[in-house]
Chains A and B, each alone.
Chain A
Amino acid sequence: MTGPDQAAEHAAQSFVPPHPAPAERDATFERDVLACLPDVARFARSLTRDDANADDLVQETMLRAYRAYHTFEPGSDARRWLFTICRNVFLRQRERDLRQADVADDAELETLGAVWGHVAAVRDGVDDLFDRLDLGPAIDRALAELPDAFRVAVVLVDVEGQAYEEAAAVAGVPVGTIRSRLFRGRRLLQEQLLSYARDAGFAAPAGPTPRAARPRPRKSV
């Protein structure tokens, strides 16, 4: 845990509720923190893989954030702050540390795996599956089956739009580790989805359809 995160956690533990809470403080909390509820809910669901437990986790996260709000630096990234609290609450509840996960240590090899996956998809006629199929449920299932560490990396970067450095801070691991986990997670996801498409008989007779590929814009926060 980083310094500011540790301070936030400590403050959350030792907080004395405000009586009464300053209206201005609550207004900014609502605007800057409570507005992130959908993001926190999504992240919590990716951690728990269970809606009811995710809701409990979101509530606890928001309560701790409220208690520690005086430690939040105005203008800083509220989502990252909340994700960090959420992850820490989750780890305590589960008594399990994501750092113990089996971690890929060769990010470049994982990247090449993505290309091999594409080659296999072309071979099997399912390389356009993302254009032809509603993969939402399949993606949900595939994400849920990922080991925790890989799922967290994928959700933070690919769903929440965090940069590697930001995601690493939330996960409490070095940037290189989050990068390796991300790439492994993506490869596993691709394999699951391609397998799903093949098993479901979605092979298409046509070849690949090239498109322009540009870097993705980060989600603004």
Chain B
Amino acid sequence: MTPHTPFTAAGSPPPAPIDCDTAVRRLWDYLDGELDDRRMAEVDTHLAACRHCPRHFAFARVFLDAVATARREHQQPGALRERVVAALRAEGFTGARTP
């Protein structure tokens, strides 16, 4: 497959074509924003043209969102905060006064 390779920035060369194997090996790094600009652009270009890889990337992305959301919905720090503040006050902490 030969993906379209538009210029991504003035004066920079177009991203080099990459195949599906290369793209999926970069899946997590790409979704985590851990690739350098050139590799990110290569994956972007591949995803724009490939019929197969976007589904894998979308599945992985939804999975990551589900993990982050599930864990964040747990926090009920009210009682814990009171306990921690009480312990800090025993150390001399004067903040977090109750109105």
Beta-carbon nearest neighbor of B86 in chain A: A59
Q: How large is the interface on A (under 10, 10 to 19, 20 to 34, 35 or more residues)?
A: 35 or more
A63 adjacent to B25 (CB under 8 Å): no
Contact with A along B37-73 (1 / 0, CB 8 A): 0001000000100000011111111111111111111
Alpha-carbon gap, A217 to B63, bound state (A): 15
The yes or no answer to A202 lying at the interface (CB within 8 A) is no
Residue ID in chain A nearest B43 by CB atoms: A215
Contact of B27 among A27, A34, A115, A157 (CB under 8 A): A115
From known contacts A23-B94, A37-B77, A154-B67, infer whether A118 and B31 are also in contact, taking CB-CB under 8 Å: no
| Closest CB in chain B relative to A184 CB, distance in Å | 11
Determine the distance from Cα of A114 to Cα of B28 in the docked complex, in whole angstroms: 9
Query: Once the chains bind, are A55 and B54 in contact (CB under 8 Å)?
Result: no
Tell me if A42 and B33 are in contact (CB < 8 A). Answer: no
CA distance A177 to B18 in the complex (A): 26
- For A138, the closest partner residue in chain B by CB is B70
Proximity bits, B83-99, A CB within 8 Å = 1, else 0: 11101100111111000
Main secondary structure of the interface of A (DSSP, over half): helix
Interchain Cβ contacts under 8 Å between A and B, 23 examples: A21-B94, A34-B84, A37-B81, A38-B77, A42-B71, A42-B74, A42-B75, A55-B80, A58-B80, A62-B84, A63-B91, A66-B88, A107-B28, A111-B25, A111-B26, A115-B56, A130-B63, A139-B70, A159-B67, A159-B71, A163-B33, A164-B32, A216-B65
Measuring CB to CB, which residues of chain B are less than 8 angstroms from any residue of chain A? 24-34, 40, 47, 54-75, 77, 80-81, 83-85, 87-88, 91-96
Instruction: Rank and list the top 8 A-B pairs by shortest CB-CB distance, nearest first.
Output: A213-B57, A30-B95, A26-B95, A139-B70, A136-B70, A21-B92, A215-B33, A211-B58
Q: Which residues of chain A have a CB within 8 Å of any CB of chain B?
A: 17-21, 23, 26-27, 29-30, 34, 37-38, 41-42, 45-46, 55, 58-59, 62-63, 66-67, 107-108, 111-112, 114-115, 118, 121-122, 127, 130-131, 135-136, 139-140, 143, 154-155, 157-159, 161, 163-164, 179, 182-183, 186, 189-190, 193, 208, 210-218
